[in-house]
Amino acid sequence: MSSTSPLLLWCCLYLCLATTTIYARLQPRNLIVDSNSSAKEFNRRNLLGNGLGRTPQMGWSSWNHFGCNIDENMIKGTDDCWAEGNRDSQGNMVAKGSTFPSGIKALADYVHSKGLKLGVYSDAGTQTCSKQMPGSLGHEEQDAKTFASWGVDYLKYDNCNNENRSPRERYPIMSNALQNSGRAIFYSMCEWGDDNPATWASSVGNSWRTTGDITDDWNSMTSRADLNNQWASYAGPGGWNDPDMLEVGNGGMNFGEYRSHFSIWALVKAPLIIGCDLRSMDNTAHGILSNSEVIAVNQDKLGVQGKRVKQYGDLEVWAGPLSGKRVALVLWNRGSSKADITAYWSDIGLDSSTVVDARDLWAVSLSFILLYFIKFIVFDITIY
């Protein structure tokens, strides 16, 4: 059984298989399937003992859209370029006076007053990637205490200018420093996946990059999804694979491609870090990024990373277990023409006789449907 739609994937789910006609590079389908299946085993590992990251981090970062053009008015988080080029006479990092005249402590206080948390950026090297501020290599204890004294909640720790020293040597030093800082600080390791951090970083950080930097185009996004997929079994509560930030809203991809981007990142329990200018974000991007049911898949308490379970050419099935005996399913056509995708229950770990309650998570409000001429079908069948 199959069906077609000019913009949105349709889906027909019944008993043993799911078939849909999907147009090229349109959004994948996220479905919630209630079943009696249990989570597949995944690699258990020693966890960083800071109690953070029980679900993937969500937020906003300045880097993808603004680069070094930041100031304290961009209040939700900062990336590179926030500090002066040199440390003070005591060796401390100092906020750049021209762009952060109030200092990072005042910025953190403001952010906290809004019920948000503040992240800063540093580097496991002698300088950050922009070479406009010092890195923390050799200053880990001092910088960790400085960040804690400012009320920082999150550290993104990059990998530039690293003196060709192993990340397995450099990243644990900052991890220990943060744990000794007197404040719980989420540790986001940006090691670029060079030394397969998924295999060793769970006791070091709360998340670790599995890829190089993303750019705002289809090939970059899909290649990072592919690279990240191989490490699915290593992710879980307390430590997450990170294929880099979201590009939704930056303008380099179309509606369907951005919906694909957000759907896959949500399914694979990637950090959902928005990278566009929130002040000028259009309704299309807002509609994608604010889908609460897709976000709920990402934040599901079971914390098992979804992965690709079937591939034939450009047609793919991705799936992963959720809490409450549910399964999330994505049918993804990455080709240039429409095609039918069939997902059998066996592809997602279900018995062929399983009866499900299935919902399309992109079946959105009427106003959104009219705006984008989206058609949808919803199956709501009580499990027997």
Domains and CATH numbers, the chain: 53-303 (3.20.20.70), 310-381 (2.60.40.1180)
- In contact, 127 and 173? CB cutoff 8 Å: no
pLDDT at residue 12, rounded to an integer: 20
- Return the structure tokens found at 5: 């739609």
How confident is the model at residue 353, as a pLDDT?
Answer: 82
pLDDT on residue 279: 84
Q: What pLDDT does 331 receive?
A: 87
E strand or H helix that includes residue 154:
strand 154-158
Cα–Cα distance between 209 and 186 in angstroms, integer? Answer: 14
Q: CB–CB of 110/142 below 8 Å? A: no
Distance of alpha carbon 102 from alpha carbon 96, whole angstroms? 10
- The reported pLDDT for the residue numbered 206 is 97
pLDDT score of 63: 59
For residue 40, the 8-state DSSP code is: P
Cα torsion through 15, 18, 19, 21, rounded to 10: 140
**Is 244 among the catalytic positions?**
no
**The pLDDT value given to residue 337:** 84
Q: Could you confirm whether 213 is annotated as catalytic?
A: yes
Could you list the pLDDT tens digit for every one of the 384 residues in the chain?
222 222 222 222 212 233 444 445 554 545 555 544 444 444 445 788 899 999 999 988 865 566 666 566 655 444 556 677 888 888 888 877 888 888 889 989 988 988 889 889 999 999 999 899 999 999 999 999 999 999 999 999 999 999 999 999 999 999 999 999 999 999 999 999 999 999 999 999 999 999 999 999 999 999 999 999 999 999 999 999 999 999 999 999 999 899 999 999 999 999 999 988 888 889 999 999 999 989 999 999 999 999 999 999 998 999 998 888 888 888 898 888 888 888 888 888 888 888 777 788 887 543 333 332 222 222 222 333
State the catalytic residue, choosing from 34, 80, 158, 242: 158
Instruction: Give the pLDDT confidence score for residue 310 in this predicted structure.
Output: 94
Catalytic residue among 213, 277, 340, 357: 213
The pTM (predicted TM-score) of the whole model is: 0.83
Tell me if 217 sits within 8 A of 252, measured CB to CB: yes
* Dihedrals phi, psi of 148, to nearest 5 degrees: -65, -40
